[in-house]
Amino acid sequence: MNWTAVAAIYQFEMARFFRTLAQSFLSPVLSTSLYFVVFGAAIGSRIDQVEGVSYGAFIVPGLIMLSVITQGISNASFGIYFPKFIGTVYELLSAPVNFLEIVLGYVGAAATKALFIGVVILATAHLFVDITIQHPLAMILFLVLTCVSFALLGFIIGIWAKNFEQLQLVPLLIVTPLIFLGGSFYSISMLPPVWQTITLFNPVVYLISGFRWSFFGTADVPVAMSLLAIALFTGLCLFVIGWIFRTGWRLRS
């Protein structure tokens, strides 16, 4: 393992993040504050509790997942797409660096950025509501796994995209709706039985449910199923990335 190459890619990507630190820091704080004003104050005043938890606190895990997933995808996809766009990816492919080292550098940096955003949003939430984390180690595990898995997905999207429009297509039309329909701001037990069954086909439900369990001890689906779902998703992404580098699909053409 060429850790020097991994560190070089990682540091390059993180340097780009720190150059826009104010934007990266202020944007999630402002958006989280707006969500609390709209959902926590306006809607929360009409909903007393959800599963024994105040509505303002109940939406915190969903807000963190919403930002972490979108940030993980966007950072990883742009990180690998831009070298493709300007042609420097060929220098990387011709260097004595294997695909695992490339993935570790880019995905590691994207996951770190998403994790930072998640921590910032959690700290911001404490300004609005009282939050008690019942299972802090499980919370960290779910947060890290989500950052890594969706950074892997973003890496795939960045390789697949042929232009900047396609770079935003999957997150905008597929991932974001799945997050909003995955129980970010409600419990799926509040839905009619038919829609509860349909919702279980949404993979994001398992992530948000497991993450919410780590906060409040309540979950829409068993925690073991949540861990299995994210493990399968991570494994699938790794398999696809391995296939991409073996075949050179969208990299060498």
Residue 53 phi, psi (nearest 5): -120, 140
Task: Name the amino acid, one letter, at 72.
Answer: G
The CA dihedral of 176, 179, 180, 181, to the nearest 10 degrees, is 120
- Of the candidates 196, 198, 194, 175, the residue with the CA atom closest to the CA atom of residue 186: 196
Per-residue pLDDT at 100:
92
Residue 127: how many other CB atoms lie within 10 Å = 10
Q: What is the 3-state secondary structure (H, E, C) of 81-121?
A: HHHHHHCCHHHHHHCCCCHHHHHHHHHHHHHHHHHHHHHHH
Looking at every residue in the chain, the average pLDDT score rounds to 89
Per-residue pLDDT at 135:
96
Phi-psi category of 161—alpha, beta or left, where left has phi over 0 and alpha has psi -120 to 50?
beta
CA gap 162, 63 in Å, rounded: 30
225 vs 205, 206, 228, 230, CA distance in Å? Answer: 11, 7, 5, 9
Q: What is the mean pLDDT of each run of 10 residues along the chain (253 residues)?
A: 91 87 74 76 72 87 92 93 90 88 96 93 87 94 96 96 90 89 88 89 93 94 93 95 92 74
Per-residue pLDDT at 185:
86
CA gap 220, 139 in Å, rounded: 16
- Of the candidates 77, 70, 73, the residue with the CA atom closest to the CA atom of residue 182: 70
